[in-house]
Structure formats: C-alpha cells, structure tokens
Amino acid sequence: MGLLAGRVAIVTGASKGIGRVLSRRFAGEGARVVCAARSADLLEETVALVRADGGEAIAVAGDAAREEDVRRLVEAARRAFDRVDTLVNNAGDGGPTRPVQDYTLEDWRYTLDSCLTSSFLCARFVVPAMIEAGRGAIVNVSSVAGRRGLAFRAGYCAAKAGQLGLTWGLALELARHDITVNAIVPAAVEGDRLDRVIAGQAQARHTTPEEVRHRILERSPLGRLVTADDIASAAVFLCSDLARNISGQCLPVTAGDPAA
C-alpha cells in the first residue's frame, strides 16, 4: 500500500515537467490521479505514462485560470472517481524576464492569472468535494521568488508571494473541515523552464547563461539544483497521513539554501 492509497488527486500543470513527475509519483503511491493542463496531447502522454507504470489516471484539458474550465475539471474528477480529496496547484507560467519598465499590464495579468488565480479557482471548486469526503489536502507549488524576490521577474515574484498568502488564509479557514493547506517553496528546479529563465536573466544582466547558472548554484550549500522528483517527494509527504497535523506551512526544498 502506498502513502496515498485510496486518495483521488487533481494535479494541475500535469502535461510536462514537475506536473508530469507529480502525476506519476502520486499514482505510484496509490492515488487515482486527474491530470489537468491546457495541452490535451501532452496530457494524454502523461496519462499513458501513469498507466504504463500501473497507475490509474484520466486527463482533463483546460485552463486552470478559467472559471468554467475549473468547474468542468472538478466535475469530471467526481464523475470518474466519485470524490476528490487531494489537490496540487502546480499550474503556472513563469512569465517574462524583463525590467519592470518593459513589463506590460498584459504580462502582469497573465502571470498572476497563470500562477495565482489558477490556485484560487482550483481551491474554490474543489473544497466542497473535500468537505463532502470528510478530509482533504491542498498543496500549492510556490517558489523562493515569492519569499525573497528575483530581479526582472516582478509578476512571477508577486504571484508566488500571493500563493503563500493564499496558503495561510485557506489553512486557517479550512482546518475545521480537516483540510490541510501547505505550500512547497522550491529553489531553482532543473529543467527546460529554468534554462529559459537563465537565458532571460543573462540577457537582462548583460552576462552569459553560464555565469547566471554559476550564481544560482552558489546559493546552494549542497552544490546542486532541485529536481522535479524532489518536489514530488515533498508533495507526497504533505498530502499523506504522515503530515495530517501539518497545515499552513511553507516547506522549503532548496538544496540547503537557508535564505529561503
């Protein structure tokens, strides 16, 4: 029996990267997984991988920042598996890397909607199902950028800080329903998105990607980047009974960076 046996989990941003790893790990721990993201084709790839691992999953394509899409997501989860008791808010675009004077209102709204509004909407629509189930666990995947800031990423920093505020508020509000709400606060996570951020930072700072990567690694006492599997391990723990009395917390996954 896995740590999440019997759970029904919605994982947003499940089409690739961290979300794909989360989906596979949750299924491997016994959860039935509802994989959500905008790209239907990539979602089906994730579901195929889960099933090849021996797990159970469905795909529901849609935009987690759109109210009707989230309503449809939760309804589809309940039709398929009768209930929902676990939510991982992983969806979110990093937004542009550019000076604030070049940051457009459209950039700002898109980044906040992608990272923060999506987390709010998914919580809003899944909480009634969790109350009905008699328990629940919500995990918001935030970032160290929401704790200490990051130059040239104003929208992303604001959105990720907002996720932490949402975590604290919901944890207090939902405790009476036996619903825990926590956040994971990763440092730089190895992968394609980080490569794009590094390229953007190098351009904004008039330096090289190698120098930016070196500065990131200097922040890590362990001398390495965080991986998607590290994030999945933290999420499995926070959604399991091992963390039943942990709520309203922000768990740093930072390869030892004490400033996070």
> Catalytic site residue 103?
no
Contacts of 57 (CB under 8 A, 6+ apart): 23, 27, 32, 33, 34, 35, 46, 47, 50, 51
- CB contact at 8 A, 214 and 220: no
CB atoms near residue 31 (< 10 Å)? 28
Helix (H, G, I), strand (E, B) or coil at 58: strand
Q: Give the angle subtended at the CA of 173 by the CAs of 109 and 59, to the nearest 5°.
A: 55
Return phi, psi of residue 89, to 5°. Answer: -85, 90
**Token couple for 232:** 């999945």
- Compute the distance between CA of residue 212 and CA of residue 105 in angstroms, rounded to an integer: 27
CB atoms near residue 135 (< 10 Å)? 15
**Token couple for 151:** 């130059």
> Could you say which of 84, 156, 225, 226 is catalytic?
156
Question: Hey, which residues are catalytic here?
Answer: 156
